[in-house]
Structure 1
Amino acid sequence: MDIFLADDAFRIAGLPLHPLLVHAVVVLTPLTALAVALAAVWPAARRRLGWAPPVAAVIVAGLVPVTVLAGQNLAATVGYTPAILQHEALGLMLIPWTIALLVAALAVAVWDRMQPRLRREHPTAARLLGMLVPAAAVIAATGTIVVTVLTGEAGARVVWGGV
């Protein structure tokens, strides 16, 4: 899925924006995923982190597609190779994972706020959600981290594979 914008839309001072954005994605995405997983399974962490995991997940969910677009722009400039296509495919796979992470982060935050009332009014639903929400958050966090690492490794092979 190539989306082409003006050639200079993904450049800063004439340099491609993708390598700069990649560093933000590689740092923020796993940290956000870890924060979401911790908040989901550890009540003390959930209280301390507050709304930071959902806010970070919003940032990551917006940053990843922009990074993919910048990468597609860079690939169109330097040319597509099998390694670049593999890296791009993994980058595209990261988009739905970061969306799942965002949904999970919001679910954890809302679930935390609703727990006292749910326990009083619907104890069975509270127990069920108490298992499903953390499980979904850990799955989304794990998948996000795995695809981030695979994408980064494929990108590193593109850049450093011939060295």
Structure 2
Amino acid sequence: MSLTHIDGLPAHVLFVHAVVVLVPLTALAAVVGAVRPQFARRMGLALPLLGLVTLGLVPVTTHAGEWLESRVGNDPLVRKHTELGDGLLPWAVALFLITLAIWWLGRRLAQSAETAEGVSSAGAARWTSPTVLRTAAVVLAVAVSAGAVVDVYRIGESGAKAAWHDSYDKSAEGHHG
């Protein structure tokens, strides 16, 4: 077993399934945790750890995909898939950072209702109020999550087209034999 092939199969084909599941799962957990801080508190460290595992799998999957690309020939659909795949890492980094921020915010809001204690000016207290922080967390979580999920969809669709575009008999549709 290696990061390029597992038991004779290209590892990319296996790793990609984990990414396709974990990115939307992490995105959903981030949004729910931002909207409902008690959910983030209940998840505890599992929330940023989920983000970290998701982040870690992206470059592993990309590396395995580049290895596979070098062995399938020069195909424009594969090139497009590879180019799209290279764009997922920034989304995965942002998703991890938002899960970390939501975890931290959930802990911070749970510590006390007086989160602005010790802040010397009213202006600074306004920017660190629980409402402003929660609103920012929700907006960022939704934006990052939507971007990551849409990117995974686009990458997956291009990969499916690259893998299957000439690999089955379209004339046999609806015929069972």
Q: TM-score, normalised by structure 1?
A: 0.88
**Does 2:140 correspond to 1:136?**
yes
Unaligned segments of structure 1, at least 5 residues: 1-7
The residue aligned with 2:115 is 118
The alpha-carbon deviation at position 121 of structure 1 amounts to 4.1
1: CA distance, partners of 2:98 / 2:105: 10
The residue aligned with 1:4 is none
Runs of 4+ in 1 over 3 A off after TM superposition: 119-123
The residue aligned with 1:159 is 163
The alpha-carbon deviation at position 13 of structure 1 amounts to 2.5
Amino acid corresponding to residue 102 of structure 1 in structure 2 = F
- CA deviations 1:28-70 (Å, max 9, x no partner) are 1111111111101113322332222211110010101110110
Amino acid corresponding to residue 55 of structure 1 in structure 2 = L
The residue aligned with 1:63 is 57
Amino acid corresponding to residue 45 of structure 2 in structure 1 = W
Whether the 8 Å CA contact 2:94–2:144 is kept in 1: the answer is: yes
The residue aligned with 2:92 is 98
1:20 to 1, 14, 18: 14
Percentage of identical aligned residues: 38
2: CA distance, partners of 1:9 / 1:136: 33
2:72 to 56, 61, 78: 78
State how many pairs are aligned.
156
The residue aligned with 1:108 is 102
| 1:77 match: secondary structure | coil
| Equivalences for residues 35-54 of structure 1 within 5 A | 35-54=29-48
Amino acid corresponding to residue 115 of structure 2 in structure 1 = L
Specify whether residues 136 and 16 from structure 1 end up closer, same or farther in structure 2 by C-alpha distance, changes over 3 A only: same
1:150 to 151, 154, 162: 154
Whether the 8 Å CA contact 2:81–2:158 is kept in 1: the answer is: yes
The alpha-carbon deviation at position 9 of structure 1 amounts to 5.0
2: CA distance, partners of 1:156 / 1:119: 50
- CA deviations 1:84-103 (Å, max 9, x no partner) are 11111111111100000001
**Does 2:15 correspond to 1:11?**
no
- Whichever structure has more helix as a proportion of its residues is 1
| 2:71 match: secondary structure | helix
Whether the 8 Å CA contact 2:41–2:103 is kept in 1: the answer is: no
